[in-house]
Amino acid sequence: MLQLLTNANTLILATEEGGHAAEALSDGGLLASMAWLIPVVPMVAAFAIVFYGKRMPYKGWDIAIAVMGFEALYGTALLLAHIASPIAHDFQVEIARIGSMPIEWGWTVDGLSIMMYFLVGVVGFFVFLYAKGYMEGDIRFTWFFASFTLFAGGMLVLVSAPNMIQLIVGWELVGVSSWLLIGHYWEDHYASSSAIKAMLVNKAADVGLFVGAIIVSMSVGSFRFSDILHAVEGGAAEAPLLAQFAFWGGLALFIGAMGKSAQFPFHVWLPDAMAGPTPVSALMHAATMVTAGVYLVGRMFPLYLTDGFATEVRAVIIIIGGLTLFLTGLIALVQDDIKKVLAYSTLSQLGYMTAAMGAGAYTAGLFHLFTHAFFKALLFLGAGSVIHSVHSNNMSDMGGLRKTMPWTYRTFLVGSLALAGIPLFAGFFSKDEILASLNYAIGKFSTADGGSSVATIVLILAISGAFITAFYMARTVMLTFHGEYKGQAHPHESPKIMWVPLVGLAVPSAVIGFMNWPGLTSTFTDVVGGRAVRVLDHHATEFDYLMLSFGLTAAVAGGLIGMRIWGPDKETQAARDTFRIPLLYPLLENKYYIDDLYMDGVIRPIRGPVARAINWTNGYVIDFVVNGAGLLARSVGKVVYWFDQRGVDGAIHASGAVTGAGGGMLRLLQTGKVQQYAILIFAATVILVAGLVIWF
């Protein structure tokens, strides 16, 4: 059925260091052996903020920012050390045991996790800096920073995990702290129900993660990633059990990843997660939480790319990615809430990453994750700055803000250009690499069973996605910063503590793409390729000019058309009206009715009957059990009494008397007195156990 991929193993190696020669990897010395501090410090700090935060001069923010500063410095130091000489460090200590499988705690320091440490640390630092200004005056200021630190810490636990168990712990920590943060304004019904929605959708997908972790770990006999991936490296003949179950294990793990990374059927929680404070959205959509799924696929990448294992799952991954990137991008076109536009754009970009992973492009997918984190955090913080100033989320209340908020405007523009994929900004390089790798993958899928046509469709979707991205970003910038101001409040530039982080993020958004300039630099490829296991990968060593021209044309055309339709000088209401295509527009505005489908199709039909079933159980089953116990005692008594009457044995007299008393008590059954119920329960138990003892 899913035999779309036949010759996946012809892909080239990522790097020399990360490939065969494990001896070229250093163990990282003190820097790597002290890396346990990375997850532990924020976890401790989260509790410290809860208990001591209120007594600190800045109400706990000072602890939080110190922690994130530490993370940023440590992440940068690790990244630089890793670029100088690749590190692969892995340490685990047993804390408990399930059967023969030890449950271990430890930390891993390799290219993939170092990239994430750096990302969470640096982006987190700027977001925390900004959050002080944004959350100023909030009634739960200290609590916010405690749960925010827990959120970052949970992500670091997840990233530092060297085994499945710790990954699941981090995964759930991120889940529970995101619930706390989305529901931060829980007095608002929308916020609290959004938090619950995020939790439930994630939980539904987490079942996949648990099942996948169990299948994969049990068939290898170890929870360690290193053992699992080395088993994969050994080939299907060496690990027959894993090869047998790899498809289902890989698929289940990907379903888990779909939940956290908000892929197509599970994407519904992410736009509603906007109900949380804007810094939360920024961190959640950039470095934390939604990257977890892509990270998981990256961590398990050899499983999906080695022949004989879960290679078929990649067909699912690429299709889901293609659908997500296109469908959610379209929704972003019609949103009025600026944060919702950005949320749907995040979904669309996550679709790109997933599609790249599905195409077997490890570097391209992670590179887009990396660059996207910077400019998406920047865009969210910019949007937050605007919202802070105009006191509304709706773009219909904004407009003309470029004069009153110059710094926000400049940085937001940088973020938009990066997201749209305009050359030399970070998003250009990563999106181009994804398009190139999708194009490359078409040739790698077999033509016989339609695999290559699926890949071609995904490529077309991705190029259209580039057009849509540029289009809605042009719309957002135009409606927010150009034209006439339409709101009621008096906009003003945000305080310095808020726009300085914007500048701090705008710089990497502009330049970080140079890390992987095809044909010129391959720093990022070397970073994420520097792992203890061989990662099969293909990455562009030079520009794929065909794809480059397609992508660039789409982006520029999207941007120009968007600017023309939504532009200020031509208040072309007619053009906007033609944009409101009948049927399609309401479909998009209602988000393809997927939320309604879930509500009416899944939740309502379950909720009503469950409530009725519980009521019915209370009314009938429990009474029935109590009555039944009495009746059972009496009928057993009758039988025994019958024996007794026949004079089988005088010794049975005693039990006859017991049951006689039981039968007599049946009249008193419905007294409501606990102890009489207890007598009956004990009597029934004794009789049943006696029956069991005699039976055997």
CB of 681 to other proteins, least distance (A): 10
Q: Choose one: 210-218, 564-572, 585-593, 676-684; the region binding other proteins (CB under 8 A).
A: 676-684
Rounded distance, CA 167 to CA 178, Å? 16
Assess 448 for contact with other proteins (CB under 8 A): no
CB of 664 to other proteins, least distance (A): 8
Assess 95 for contact with other proteins (CB under 8 A): yes
Q: Choose one: 95-103, 289-297, 326-334, 496-504; the region binding other proteins (CB under 8 A).
A: 95-103
Q: Choose one: 259-267, 329-337, 553-561, 675-683; the region binding other proteins (CB under 8 A).
A: 675-683
CB of 223 to other proteins, least distance (A): 15
Q: How far is CA 684 from CA 626, 638, 674, in A?
A: 10, 14, 15
Assess 424 for contact with other proteins (CB under 8 A): no
Q: Which is nearer to other proteins, 95 or 546 (CB)?
A: 95
Assess 92 for contact with other proteins (CB under 8 A): no
- The answer to whether 420 touches 469, Cβ cutoff 8 Å, is yes
- Angle formed at CA 73 by CA 68 and CA 78, multiple of 5 degrees: 125
Near other proteins by CB under 8 A: residue from 93, 139, 583, 674:
674
Rounded distance, CA 371 to CA 434, Å? 12
Near other proteins by CB under 8 A: residue from 97, 403, 570, 604:
97
CB of 455 to other proteins, least distance (A): 47
Q: Which of 84, 87, 111, 86 is nearest to 34 (CA)?
A: 87
Assess 657 for contact with other proteins (CB under 8 A): yes
**Other CB atoms within 10 Å distance of the CB of residue 490:** 10
Q: Choose one: 205-213, 240-248, 565-573, 667-675; the region binding other proteins (CB under 8 A).
A: 667-675
Q: Which is nearer to other proteins, 34 or 622 (CB)?
A: 622
Assess 193 for contact with other proteins (CB under 8 A): no
Assess 673 for contact with other proteins (CB under 8 A): yes
Q: Choose one: 76-84, 118-126, 492-500, 666-674; the region binding other proteins (CB under 8 A).
A: 666-674
Mark residue 527 as left, alpha or beta (left: phi above 0; alpha: psi -120 to 50; beta: remaining): alpha
Q: Which of 684, 678, 574, 573 is nearest to 635 (CA)?
A: 684
Query: And the tokens for 22?
Result: 């494990």
Q: Which is nearer to other proteins, 396 or 618 (CB)?
A: 618
Rounded distance, CA 309 to CA 663, Å? 65
**Other CB atoms within 10 Å distance of the CB of residue 459:** 23
Query: And the tokens for 123?
Result: 């982006």
Beta pairing partners, 97:
102
* Size of interface with other proteins, in residues (CB under 8 A): 26
Which alpha helices (DSSP H) does 421-450 contain, by range?
Answer: 426-444
Rounded distance, CA 684 to CA 664, Å? 14
Assess 670 for contact with other proteins (CB under 8 A): yes
Rounded distance, CA 176 to CA 168, Å? 12
Assess 689 for contact with other proteins (CB under 8 A): yes
Q: Which is nearer to other proteins, 85 or 617 (CB)?
A: 617
Near other proteins by CB under 8 A: residue from 21, 66, 96, 448:
96
Q: Which is nearer to other proteins, 97 or 604 (CB)?
A: 97
Which alpha helices (DSSP H) does 17-60 contain, by range?
Answer: 29-33, 37-52
Question: Can you say whether the dihedral through the CA atoms of 538, 540, 544, 550 is positive or negative?
Answer: positive
**Other CB atoms within 10 Å distance of the CB of residue 384:** 28
Near other proteins by CB under 8 A: residue from 495, 661, 663, 666:
661
Assess 693 for contact with other proteins (CB under 8 A): yes
Could you list the residues that contact other proteins (CB under 8 A)? 95-97, 654-655, 657-658, 661-662, 665, 670-679, 682-683, 686, 689-690, 693
